[in-house]
Amino acid sequence: MSYRRARWKRLVWRAIFAMGSIGGCLHAQLESVHPNEVVSNLFVEAFAFASDQPGKGRVDIYVQIPYPEINFVKEEEQYTGRLEISVTVLSAEKQQVWQKSQLVDLHLKDFSQTVSNRLFSLKQFSTDLAPGTYELLLQVTDQESKKVETLKRSITVKDFGSDSVGLSDVMIARRVTIEGAHRNIVPNITGVIGKEQTSIYFFFEIYTRVQLDSVRLLCQFINPKREIVAQLRKSELLTGHRTQTIWQIDTPAIAPDRYILVVVAEGNSPSDSSQKFHASVSRTCLVRTKYMPTMITDVDKATEQLRYIAKGSEIDYIKGAATSEEKQQRFIEFWSKRNPNPNTPQNELMEEYYARVEFANKSYASYLEGWRTDRGMVLIRFGPPENIERHPFDSDNKPYEIWYYYNQNREFIFVDDSGFGDYRLRYPETDLWGRIR
């Protein structure tokens, strides 16, 4: 046994005996992992439309992979990335109803493109499904690094032929170009709307089974408090039983936050004005300040989460702003002073910091938010450890984990005193600011 290994065995015993555990042999059911885990920047979104096949809906699935997520290899005068994208749809009973895989080759000329968060690969898949609820599974395999990333989400396909008036899902468009009768729509599948944008494009379809010349459209932005903070109206002429609509609206003057976007269509029967038809559809979206990471939806919360790298006076200064706009500006100024590369639009340090916060919230939450836990604190400060030893099922001792940071010459021991996943830092015996715990 190496000196390092023997030393750590002694430290484990010291931590366990400090808890009052019964002595004896340590029968560890050891799980050793290499947690190269990061918050995935992959995006997958599905939009349901009426299908040409009776009784079914057409589902368009978009997969967006930012270039920094791809391992590019230099080959002669270009950089090549190779991916395999696999999309699977499962029924509510977990039975596979559709699957498709696609190999993707990417060839770039400039190294700066390979690390730009503004560039990405966008692929589309389509299938026809009966009305119902499904689970979509995405798997992306990097052919060079063999890294595999997975995502899952639910899909709901409505019965588009059952109502007098119906609406498809709403797609927020990143870009729309029209050449004659041809429309080229690039979807914004992240659902993020920048406040610096002057206009937003919504694409959706209107379906009618009754004779109508037009419908009245209403768009509402509803905040987490269920307040309608903005609404817009327009009238749309119908071109038949299926009308494709591109609605360009001015970006509403609303605070950065997560919203429910609701689109409502209403019409009156030409033969009987008292007879009204109604349809609605909703989706979530995020309005954010320019260059703000997508995971930040609340500046007050994001300011609290600065505690691991900011002084108390810096946090108080941000919180003490007179208005929400001033608070956002002070928050951005804090990070601008710490931007490792001011020549790029994104602040990579801020992106990485809040990616760690999000990962901690997803992985380590107990009765505390994940970022407030001891494991969350260490992850946010030092990043993913190079190795973790997990001991969740020792018969004579409480569950514990050892995190190794070999390159930083640091190790941490966390013990779950309660048995409910609330791991506390036991070694070192001081916190990261040198205070006795």
Place of tokens 């032929």: 161
pTM flag (> 0.85): no
Domains parsed from the chain with CATH numbers? 1-35+385-437 (no CATH), 40-160 (2.60.40.10), 163-294 (2.70.50.60)
- Residue 226: is it exposed, middle or buried by C-beta count within 10 angstroms (0-12/13-18/19+)? exposed
Tokens of 66: 């930012």
pLDDT at 31 over 70: no
The predicted structure's pLDDT at residue 271: 75
For the chain, the average pLDDT equals: 84
Place of tokens 């002073």: 337
Per-residue confidence band for 344, with pLDDT thresholds at 50, 70 and 90: low
Per-residue confidence band for 15, with pLDDT thresholds at 50, 70 and 90: very low
Tokens of 81: 């990335």
The predicted structure's pLDDT at residue 6: 42
Q: Which residues contact 180 (CB under 8 A, 6 or more apart)?
A: none
**Residue pLDDT, tens place only, 171-202:** 999 888 877 777 788 899 888 888 777 889 99
**Residue pLDDT, tens place only, 369-428:** 999 999 999 999 998 888 889 888 877 788 999 999 998 899 999 999 887 888 999 988
Torsions phi, psi for 428 (to 5 deg): -70, 165
pLDDT at 433 over 60: no
* Listed residue (232, 90, 243, 82) closest to 166, CA to CA: 243
**Residue pLDDT, tens place only, 396-405:** 788 999 999 9
